[in-house]
Amino acid sequence: MKIAFLSSEVAPYAKTGGLADVSQALPAALARNGAKVAVFMPLYGVVKDAGPNLIKVLDGQAMAWQGETLGLTVWADPSTPYPVCFIEQARYFERSEGAGLYGTPSGDFPDNGERFAFFCRAVLEALKGLPFEADIIHANDWQAALAPAYLRQACGGDSFFDRTKSVFTIHNLAYQGLFRPEILASVGLPGRLFRMEDMEFWGQVSFMKAGILYADAVTTVSRRYSREIQTPEYGWGLDGLLRSRADVLTGIRNGIDAGSWNPASDHAIAAPFSAADPAGKEACRRDLRAAFGLPSPRRETPILGLVSRLAEQKGIDIFLGALEGIVALGVQLVVLGTGDSGLEAGLRAARERFPSFVGVRFGFDDALARRIYAGSDCFLIPSRYEPCGLTQMIAMAYGSVPVARATGGLDDTIQAYDASTRTGTGFKFQTPDPAAFLDAVKRAIRHIESPPDRTALIKNAMSEDFSWREPAAEYEALYRGLFTPRVQ
């Protein structure tokens, strides 16, 4: 089985969020299981600047685009166990210094529709010239969503793709890729697709809708989120379409790299520890206080950690609304993140008001994040919605008990703690408001301060298997269900 995996970002080459981590880890897990995988992403300027030793695997293949013939060039990283291929096109992917993958601090690039449409079409054209006849085109999020549409529309009469099937994965439905109607003609798709039954969405073209509509199978990143997006509350206007495609919609949770996220071998933390021997967590707790300049309390009290993008989706305003009540419990809190300026201001104010109880650091710092996972007793995730979430799985791997809203992948991966049986891994709340969140924090602290419950919670959490083993097997079964593999 041969899978072409399309993503706008792949770690470690280019990353803005969890999509990059998934696009590195899932193909690796599939390859370990024996599938033939090729990952495709744009050759951004930032990738070139980082200086990976790439080799040219396709040189100047003719490709029709916007009324002209372009030379399509593809590069690959020879150091990886499976091909990671980069689509080169300077006019779309090499931007000014300091620009991000999708825009600048002033906003998105105005040609993002063309940029990622070109990426999708170029991958399909590249496959004709590469020694990799894909059985499955696996496209991820709106940036790759036109690949299934091209496969059906622009390549529908191309015998090369007669037996090729497509899978489209929704990582976050809120980001849909909406563009003006003229984009269809600009990227080589027929204007008749601009209708309600097709790619039109409230007067615009929705790339996300195209992926959902044209893929042979649609997946999203947790079972609960696959149900949530079929409702008006979480469907972002596409719930009706998703309900109509419910027979091909599957929720498969993301995983984490169990080798990378392992407190027994993590060199970024103060002391190693494991589920069998958690003693090192105490040294990590002391190290975390020191990292944030928090004083040691007169009596040992829990430390609560939060590592997040600072956005309303992540419930940071809910956290701020409950913060005074949490501090009143006598616990300490540490926060690492960056994002909305108003939320950052709220966190600064909290740090100034409660300097002995609240530590805040702005930005992205992988090593510090690991110290928070390792040193915290509880990990806070008050998200309004969360398609899957990775932080709760990482926190549990490090023995930090999650306190989270029961939504999406958070609900799927956290089992509510039952003190009578000492089973479960965390604490959940339903209503996205400060009062419900504070109540869940109180429950968590009460049990964390009980030695038998604390021991059970840490052991239960650290014993969970959130590796990619099970999700990769589910994807393989999904692929197999779509087609009979090519005869070699």
pLDDT at position 488 over 60? no
Domain check: are 80 and 192 in the same one? yes
Structural domain contains residue 261 = no
* pLDDT value of residue 106: 87
Q: Report d(CA 476, CA 480) in Å as an integer.
A: 6
Domain check: are 9 and 69 in the same one? yes
Domain check: are 139 and 249 in the same one? yes
Domain check: are 231 and 318 in the same one? no
Structural domain contains residue 267 = no
* pLDDT value of residue 57: 96
Q: Report d(CA 273, CA 261) in Å as an integer.
A: 12
338-382, pLDDT tens digit by residue?
A: 999 999 999 999 999 999 999 999 998 999 999 999 999 999 999
Domain check: are 457 and 473 in the same one? no
pTM summary value: 0.93
Structural domain contains residue 293 = yes
The CA–CA distances, whole Å, from 75 to 25, 40, 88 equal 20, 10, 7
For 376-387, b/e burial (b = at least 16 CB within 10 A) is: bbbbbbbbbbbb
* pLDDT value of residue 160: 86
Q: Looking at 160-164, 334-338, 398-402, 404-408, which range is the least confident one?
A: 160-164
* CB distance 76 to 54 below 8 Å: yes
Query: Interior CA angle at 235 toward 240 and 11, to 5°?
Result: 125
Structural domain contains residue 263 = no
pLDDT at position 203 over 90? yes
**What's the longest Cα–Cα distance across the chain?**
74
Q: Looking at 44-58, 209-223, 375-389, which range is the least confident one?
A: 44-58
Structural domain contains residue 487 = no
275-320, pLDDT tens digit by residue?
A: 999 999 999 999 999 999 999 887 789 999 999 999 999 999 999 9
Structural domain contains residue 62 = yes
Domain check: are 458 and 476 in the same one? no
* CB distance 31 to 145 below 8 Å: no
* pLDDT value of residue 51: 74
Q: Report d(CA 225, CA 246) in Å as an integer.
A: 13
Tokens describing residue 79: 């150091």
Domain check: are 365 and 291 in the same one? yes
Structural domain contains residue 264 = no
* pLDDT value of residue 162: 85
324-340, pLDDT tens digit by residue?
A: 999 999 999 999 999 99
Give the mean model confidence (pLDDT) for residues 253-264: 94
CATH number at residue 55: 3.40.50.2000
pLDDT at position 97 over 90? no
Task: Select from 145, 146, 172, 138 the least CA-distant residue to 27.
Answer: 138
**Helix 341-353 / helix 316-327 crossing angle, nearest 10 deg:** 10
Task: Select from 468, 463, 449, 369 the least CA-distant residue to 415.
Answer: 463
Q: Report d(CA 247, CA 321) in Å as an integer.
A: 41
Domain check: are 388 and 408 in the same one? yes
Domain that includes residue 221, residue range: 2-255+469-482
Write down the mean pLDDT value for the chain.
95
Give the mean model confidence (pLDDT) for residues 163-167: 94
Structural domain contains residue 197 = yes
118-164, pLDDT tens digit by residue?
A: 999 999 999 999 999 999 999 999 999 999 999 988 666 678 888 89
pLDDT at position 486 over 60? no
Find all residues with CB under 8 Å of 137, minimum gap 6, and list them.
Answer: 4, 6, 123, 124, 147, 148, 151, 164, 165, 166, 167
Domain check: are 147 and 191 in the same one? yes
Domain count of the chain?
Answer: 2
* pLDDT value of residue 17: 85
71-86, pLDDT tens digit by residue?
A: 999 999 999 999 999 9
* CB distance 326 to 439 below 8 Å: no
Q: Given pLDDT bands bounded at 50, 70 and 90, which one contains residue 485?
A: low
The fraction of the chain above a pLDDT of 90, given in percent, is 90
Find all residues with CB under 8 Å of 154, minimum gap 6, and list them.
Answer: 121, 188, 189
Domain check: are 66 and 154 in the same one? yes
The fraction of the chain above a pLDDT of 70, given in percent, is 98
Length of the chain: 488
Domain check: are 118 and 197 in the same one? yes
Domain check: are 245 and 306 in the same one? no
